Amino acid sequence: MKFSKLSQLFLVSSLGLLVAALLTACQLVTIDYVFVANSAGSGPSSAGQIGIYALDNASGAIRPAATTVQTGTSGPVAMAVSSDYAHLYVANTGNNSVIHFTVASDGTLTKADTVTLASAPVSLVVNAANTYLYVVSGTSSATLTEYALSAGVIGSATSTQQLRIGSDTVLPTGVFALANNNAVYVSAYDQSAYNPGCTPTPPATSCITSNANPGWVFAFTVGTSGALNPSANSPYAAGIKPSAVTADPTNRFVYVTDYASSELIGYAITACNAPVSAAGCQLSFLINGPFKTGYQPSALAIDPRGKFIYVANALDNSVSAFNIDLTTGTPAAAVNPTGSATNSTDGRPVALAIDPAIGRFVFTANHDGNSVSGFVLDPTAGTLGQTQATPYPAGYQPTAIVMVPHGNHSVQSVTP
């Protein structure tokens, strides 16, 4: 049977529309969302905001998606997302608050509730069971506060821990909860033992007022009803000025970046399987460490398979990539085909995130570049390549970044 030219044109047009519809449908279920906390909007005088981007899982490019959300105050410094990706929590120094947003399927954020702390929050994390929110705060002292969560809503504080090294001033820098919900780790440093660039007050000739080790990791086991108990031998030495802390998804290794020494410090976790005693979830140094990073590492993350570590280096505008030995936890530099172990970003990356769905994209929030840099992750080698059109414009001085999967993705994981 022969078709007329008009019939042929109609058939071609119909097929074209069908293909376009199918492609559009694929995009709808393969777009993830990237949330970026900006210190302000178009300039330093405006309040903080959360930029919302859609991620193209084919190219790794991001584009503005839902409407930017105002935090209502200045100084958003950290963000955390629940494991079901339905809730986002933003820490703000402007009014010492943590704001809870619900996350819609199209990436839209809606403010739900707020909690106010006694001092400025620094970092926060939600446990994998979505039952507790952990916040570290303090500019003249360090406090870990545990809040109960109910359907994402922030409840009352169920535990408060003061982080101390004798009578010295300890400042927190990061917090992380193990995937098995059994332990919480906080990175902090002793300001009395590490205070570079300060001017001593006469008659003192030095700012150093303590002989304590500068850097520390505080470890807590999580008991019945969320009770926090210091692990045996906590806190643990952690270089000079630890800047961030994370753990692998199998609950076997903890890693800390040392901002002052430009190093990655690794620990093995012991006695942390259920039931956990108060002395459990202890740390011991990995052999052959610490491990060299770029200059002034400020953030780190582990891919959802637990195979690779990525470190954002603030001073030399780069990301360091490491393979993890799944038996020993030892990281080794993942070298790109060009021979480089680092990957260039825009100015001063201070935060880093890996997509939790397919584990193929890495993004940094670049404080001085007012931008986001994107990389494609090689799931076999762990090396990085730049995404299409990177870097991407952000608001003024971005400070934090998180990612939320959308559609029919399965979240990657690794079994020890």
3-state secondary structure of 16: helix
Other CB atoms within 10 A of residue 396 CB = 17
Inform me whether the pLDDT recorded for 30 exceeds 80: no
| CATH hierarchy code of domain 117-196+210-288 | 2.130.10.10
More confident residue, 44 or 397: 397
Distance (Å, rounded) from C-alpha 348 to C-alpha 195? 21
In 192-296, at which residue ranges do the beta strands (DSSP E only) sit? 215-222, 228-230, 236-237, 242-247, 253-258, 263-270, 282-285, 291-292
What burial class does residue 368 get, using C-beta atoms within 10 Å of its C-beta: 0-12 exposed, 13-18 middle, 19+ buried? Answer: middle
| pLDDT one-digit tens code per residue, 246-272 | 999 999 999 999 999 999 999 999 988
**pLDDT tier, 224 (very low <50, low <70, confident <90, very high otherwise):** confident
For the chain, where do the domains classified as CATH 2.130.10.10 start and end?
117-196+210-288
Inform me whether the pLDDT recorded for 312 exceeds 80: yes
| pLDDT one-digit tens code per residue, 154-210 | 999 999 999 998 878 899 999 999 999 999 999 999 987 777 777 766 776 666 666
Find, among 386, 353, 392, 388, the residue nearest to 372 by Cα: 392
Distance (Å, rounded) from C-alpha 206 to C-alpha 204? 6
Note whether 282 and 271 are within 8 A (CB).
Answer: yes
Running DSSP on this structure, what letter comes out for residue 195? -
Inform me whether the pLDDT recorded for 5 exceeds 70: no
**pLDDT tier, 412 (very low <50, low <70, confident <90, very high otherwise):** low
Note whether 189 and 216 are within 8 A (CB).
Answer: yes
3-state secondary structure of 97: strand
Distance (Å, rounded) from C-alpha 86 to C-alpha 110? 11
Identity (one letter) of the amino acid at 267? Y
Burial 166-178 (b: 16+ CB within 10 A, else e): eebbbbbbbbbbb
3-state secondary structure of 204: coil
Q: How much is the pTM?
A: 0.89
Note whether 386 and 279 are within 8 A (CB).
Answer: no
Residue 138 pLDDT: 95
3-state secondary structure of 28: helix
**pLDDT tier, 19 (very low <50, low <70, confident <90, very high otherwise):** very low
